[in-house]
Structure 1
Amino acid sequence: LVLCGICGCRMTIRYYLRHGELSPYYICQREHIEHGVPLCQYIPGQAIDAAVSRLLLETMTPISLEVAMAVQQEITARQEEAHVLRAQQVARAQYLADLAGQRYRRVDPNNRLVANTLEAEWNAALKALQEAQQEYQHHHQQDDLLINEAVRAKVMALTTDFPRVWNDPHITDRDRKRLVHLMLEDVTLIKSHEITIQVRFRGGAIQTLTIPAPLKSWQTWMTPLERVQMVDNLLNEHTDEQVAVILNDRDLHPGKGGAFRGRLIGNIRRAYGLKSHYDRLREVGMLTAQEMACRLAVDKKTVMEWRQAGLLRGYLGNDKGVYLFEPPGPDAPTKRMGQKLSKRRQILEAKYLPDRAKEVQYES
């Protein structure tokens, strides 16, 4: 029933078990079997079967059947006119054959040349009569399929019986195939960026459907684009592992299911070309610990100690514990011998407190 739209060969069908259900695949493999060339087409058939099923259910409606029967009545009227013309041809052939027979019977038997000529004309007339009668009988048998009221009632009953039978869960796929064979002549498939389905009904009517090409298995595992956008927004202020924790707290899942992990967030970043949290901090001017040490003329270890003490503001750049720092301002910290870091932090916090906060502190 299924034809390949590229080479015109019949396509075979295979069934695979997917998620506990049988999934059909249409394969054009004749040239592959006979000559070892690559497969012409290999098309998943689940979406195709669903599209053809919808077409059949939409076609079996009272309006469409009424139109079809009206057309059939018009064809029947024209067939009756042709029937009269063919009957007249048979009558004329019968008249010519009788006339030729009369001429042959009236000829003088001694005039053998004339008798042979009339006999040949009579045989030709009889042959023409036989051909006209055979043509008349052949067309008469074909025109015998007229729609009467009983047949019309049965046809209209199909509009309710067919959907009920088609959707009956007790009907097997084999029975549905038999129904399809009764209604369709063939189905032609062409797969490109989409699948084109050309359905030819018995009687000559053709319907063309277009459906999207099915996703590959790896494409079904891809994280939805709205979640990728959410990851992009969260990376402005969070590392990969922090983003994963936030998404899991919101009860969101990746395309393949399960929970988000920092490594998975990194894979999403690389797949969609998203910048990491570290790169985003660098773009806004954040400095590494080594660069900050050079700016302040101190050791890198001192920079980390000052960050822990609160003298420098650092931001976690990745999940490996690497920090980036705001560029030092005019009040950048310096080394002070004999003064504890905790004491310097209290002085620094008091220096930058708003005036009202200072007043409240003094009152207390």
Structure 2
Amino acid sequence: RRDTGVWDGRLGWGRLTHGRAADVLKNPAYAGAYAFGRAASSRKVRPDGTVVACVNRRPRDQWTVLIPDHHEGYVSWQQYLQIEAKLAANRTSTGARPPREGPPLCQGVIYCGSCGFPMSTGYRRADGTADYVCNRARSDAVTTPGCHSIAAAAVDAQVTRLLLAALTPEQVHLALAAADDLHHRHHRSHRGAELAVERARYEADRAERTFTQVEPENRLVARSLERRWEEKLAALAQAEAALADLAAARPVLPEPDRLHALAQDLPRLWDAPTTGAKDRKRLLRTLIADVTVRHVDHSRAHIGIRWHTGATDEVVCDRRTNRNPTQAVELVRSLLDTRSDAEIAGHLNALGLRTGKCRPFTVASIRHIRQQHAIGSKRNDPTGPGEITVPQAARILGVHEAAIYPWLRNGEMPARQDRHRRWCITWNPQTEDYWHNRVATSSHLKRTNPNYETGQAV
């Protein structure tokens, strides 16, 4: 509603924007309260001598006037306070880390164990997987020792395992027992606050009766009794405020049967497709305060989990999550001497095995496994009588190995391939003379270092 100009008193309609929605949520008038003095203006002198005016927001306890329940509001005053607290919890500029949309569970609550700073989340364009990265070395342009990255799935798997283990029916039974003890203590505190209010009210009434019974001509006595009455009234107001705060802080405990059913059904609820990433993060943050990662070596990491109760857990996990199954590696090692890489890949796919990235096995993936685990064939020399390998032919002709492969693929050089796709070249004096003459007449071949043929260091 406009309050100035020709549109004074009329409603002005406009498109709902982020700024307008924030103004509605932050304005106490929509909660039925009248407020004045929420902001204060001040003047500052710049170094060049110019004077500028600044408007600064004041905290609620510094507002000039605040009258709750002044008029009918759209939301209650308690809802307004909850909205204000939620907005403050979502303000990342003040250090808050609200749950985001990404799949990593520990986003915002994971810290580097080397430098102590928060770790950010990075996503890979190739497969969409996420990593927790410590950007401390990038921020100060100094290589911080021990600051590395780790796969988000490796940390999330360990944290999820510990979280679900903490919500078993046995753990819930212990939590309910502690909650009952907390409820009894709160009841005793609430009863003590009620007795304190009754005593303060009795003393205030007594001070009031004493003041009203004094003679008017005894002005000094009346002034002293009035001051005592005011002190009792202030003590009564303080006791009533303490009782109201204690009543508002009363713990809301769920029903035990419902909580036991939730604990038994939690794993299925956690893995349900309808459960979003934000829901999992909110549940995780209700129990876990933060997660710290410190690297042990190039393949393992140390994970420390601190719960809101003050308890801590420590586990060691693998930094990489895309490791090939151990069964697949053993099969490659056992079948290498009897089958080719293509046949091994087909056999692994027929068994239903997949690579560490959940993809079917190919010739390239089998070669990667052989290189990663240093798996070689027991037959070191694949050649037969009258045959040589590609490195041997390259040394004899004095050329690079890359120059021989086009001749082999085009069929110019007689050769065959074994089951591991290694070339075995048919070699005799006539073949050697022919290729020596061809190499000598060619001007574009890449020749090796002459010391290579004599066995000296290159």
For the 8 Å contact 1:195–1:211, the answer to whether it is kept is yes
Contact 1:190 1:197 in 2 (8 A): yes
Give the secondary structure class of the aligned counterpart of 1:257.
Answer: helix
Q: Deviations over 1:117-151 (max 9, x none)?
A: 2212111111111111111111122125245xxx2
Matched, 1:208 2:313: yes
Q: Does 1:186 align with 2:294?
A: no
**Distance of 2:368 and 2:152 partners within structure 1:** 32
1:12–1:27 contact (8 Å) kept in structure 2: yes
Is the deviation greater in 81-90 or in 208-217?
Answer: 208-217
Change in 2 beyond 3 A, CA 1:26/1:129? same
Per the TM alignment, residue 74 of structure 1 is displaced from its structure 2 partner at its CA by 1.1
Determine the structure 1 residue equivalent to 2:132. 26
Q: 2:280 aligns with which of 156, 176, 180?
A: 176
Structure 1: distance between partners of 2:259 and 2:246: 24
Residues 1-364 of structure 1 mapped to structure 2, 5 A cutoff: 1-4=108-111, 5-16=113-124, 20=127, 22-29=128-135, 32-33=138-139, 35-38=140-143, 40-143=147-250, 145-147=252-254, 151-169=255-273, 171-193=275-297, 194-201=300-307, 203-214=308-319, 257-258=366-367
Is 1:3–1:187's contact at 8 Å kept on the other side of the alignment? yes
SS in 2 for 1:127: helix
Give the Cα–Cα distance (whole angstroms) in 2 for the partners of residues 260 and 47 of structure 1. Answer: 21
- Cα distance in 2 for residues equivalent to 1:54 and 1:144: 28
Note closer, same or farther for the CA distance 1:120–1:260 as it changes in structure 2 (3 Å cut): closer
1:97: how far off?
Answer: 1.4
What is the CA-CA distance between 1:47 and the residue it aligns to? 1.1
SS at match of 1:107: coil
Change (3 A) 1:215 1:164: closer
* Alignment check: 8 A CA contact 1:2 1:189 kept: no
Aligned to 1:302: none
The structural deviation recorded for 1:15 is: 1.9
Larger radius of gyration: 1
- The amino acid of 2:119's aligned partner reads M
Quick one: structure 1 residues 249 and 6, their matched pair in 2 at CA, closer, same or farther if it must change by over 3 Å?
Answer: closer
Residues 169 and 260 in structure 2, CA contact (< 8 A), matched pair in contact too: yes
| 8 Å CA contact 1:100, 1:121 repeated in 2 | yes
CA–CA separation in structure 1 for the residues paired with 2:216 and 2:232: 20
Partner SS for 2:302: strand
Q: Please give the root-mean-square deviation of Cα atoms over the aligned residues, in Å.
A: 4.3
Could you tell which deviates more after superposition, 164-173 or 56-65? 164-173
> In 2, distance between residues paired with 1:208 and 1:119?
60
Shift of 1:183: 4.2
Write out per-residue CA displacement over residues 27-56 of structure 1, whole angstroms, 9 at most, x where no aligned residue: 2326733x4344644232221100011112
Output one character per residue of 1:321-361: Cα deviation in whole Å (capped at 9) or x when no partner: xxxxxxxxxxxxxxxxxxxxxxxxxxxxxxxxxxxxxxxxx
Determine what percentage of the aligned residue pairs are the same residue: 28
**CA contact under 8 A between 2:211 and 2:226: conserved in structure 1?**
yes
- Structure 2 stretches lacking a partner, 5+ long: 1-107, 346-362, 382-458
Structure 1: how far apart are the matches of 2:216 and 2:162? Answer: 73
SS at match of 1:258: helix
- 1:286-308 CA-to-partner distances (Å, cap 9, x unmatched) read xxxxxxxxxxxxxxxxxxxxxxx
Would you say the 8 A contact 2:197–2:236 is kept in 1?
yes
- The alignment partner of 2:294 has SS state of strand
The Cα shift of 1:260 comes to: 10
Whose helix proportion is higher, 1 or 2? 1
Change (3 A) 1:199 1:255: farther
User: Does the Cα contact within 8 Å between 1:248 and 1:260 map onto a contact in 2?
Assistant: no
Distance, in Å, in 2 between the alignment partners of 1:135 and 1:82 is: 11
